[in-house]
A = this chain, B = another copy of it.
Amino acid sequence: MPRRSSGRVTLQHIAERVGVTKITVSRALREPHLVSATLQLRIESAIDELGYIPNHSAGALASGRSHSVALLIPSLSNSVFSEIQRGIEEGLSEAGYQVLIGHTGYSILEEERLIDTYLRYGVEALILPGSRHTGHACRLLRQARIPVVETLELTETPLDINVGLDQHQAGKAMTQTFLDQGYRRVGFLGARMDHRAQLRMAGWETAMQQAGLSTERCLTTPHPSSYRLGGEMLASMLDRWPDLEGIFCGNDDLAAGALFECQRRRMNVPDQLALAGFNGLDITEATSPPLATVVTPRRLIGDTIARRLLARLQGAPLQPASEDLGFRIRRGGSL
């Protein structure tokens, strides 16, 4: 009688049932071509009958490989990440990796906690939103010696793979679009104000300053963005700066919320007020008028991450480098 035992069905049980040793059963599962066809069948049926479920921890411990990768996303309710995730998942699951999702709530402290957790789980790579991390997180990542992907934004000093787009440049380009259309009193509206939101806003500032225009018409909040918030903040801005001609919103949710508030006030968009968002989510094509936005190549980002990460996992050397996948301005009808 064993002193400890989980009562779970193990390889050993299958092996006894079939009349071989457990290593053969193990092989039948992992390298079927090394096992005779008849045995293979008998093993399969024994597994089925007994309801064997492999113990991932035991396998990972013995082999030193977890076949899993962690993907950290800032928020579950932000659809920006869903396409990126699809690209990543498709590429990696094909190669036998399980993608473990964690969400940071836009906090680098929570990101640090998750990095620690997933390193304990022995993930073979980490995909992180953004390029800002806590000092301890960076130390953990360095020690772990596993591939790391930083995504969404670009950084001068990537830890490893960096795939995204230049958020500052994109913010600047969208602002320039306002200016090209003749708008002058262009404000900025931002929520949450994570690093990417800050970069976009900085892009707006740069463009405005280069055009010799005022950057005073700016309203931001640390609160999470939402449609409602977009409407409320638009109202505040119009109160304070009734002369506004256009507003660049840090993301599509805010822009849509702002548009709804304009509709409520019977303000014509873009004649009385031009609006633009950021990301090119589905909603920007559905509203009336469609919203101007910066279309980000999210699916491409996901595919690219999968491809480059697989190369690293399969032995490609560490060569920290950024890959800029660009963006596209879409004027919609709101600008």
Contacts and interface: CB of A to CB of B under 8 A. Distances in A.
A36 interface: no
Contacts of A257: 286
A55 interface: yes
Contacts of A121: 56-57
Interface string A176-202: 000000000000000000000000000
B82 A75 contact: yes
Contact of A79 (B64, B76, B287): B76
B66 A76 contact: no
A77 B75 contact: no
A131 interface: no
A252 to B, nearest CB: 11
A119 interface: yes
Interface string A72-109: 01011101011001000000000000101111000000
Interface in A294-320: none
A227 B283 contact: yes
Interface stretch (A18-26, A136-144, A149-157, A209-217): A136-144
A286 B228 contact: yes
Contacts of A260: 286-288
B120 A54 contact: yes
A271 interface: no
Nearest to A144: B53
Contacts of A230: 286
Given A226-B282, A263-B263, A116 B85 contact: no
Total copies of the chain: 2
A333 to B, nearest CB: 10
A51 interface: yes
Given A6-B64, A81-B76, A98-B117, A122 B285 contact: no
Nearest to A226: B282
Given A82-B75, A101-B101, A287-B260, A55 B282 contact: no
A58 interface: yes
Contact of A57 (B57, B79, B144, B227): B57
B61 A55 contact: yes
Nearest to A119: B53
A222 B100 CA distance: 27
Nearest to A75: B82
Contacts of A51: 139-140, 143
B53 A116 contact: yes
Interface string A116-136: 110111100000000000000
11 contacts: A53-B120, A56-B120, A57-B121, A61-B61, A76-B81, A100-B101, A101-B102, A227-B285, A228-B282, A228-B285, A260-B286
The 3 closest A-B pairs by CB, nearest first: A227-B286, A77-B79, A77-B82
Given A79-B79, A227-B287, 5 more contacts: A53-B119, A53-B143, A75-B82, A101-B102, A256-B283
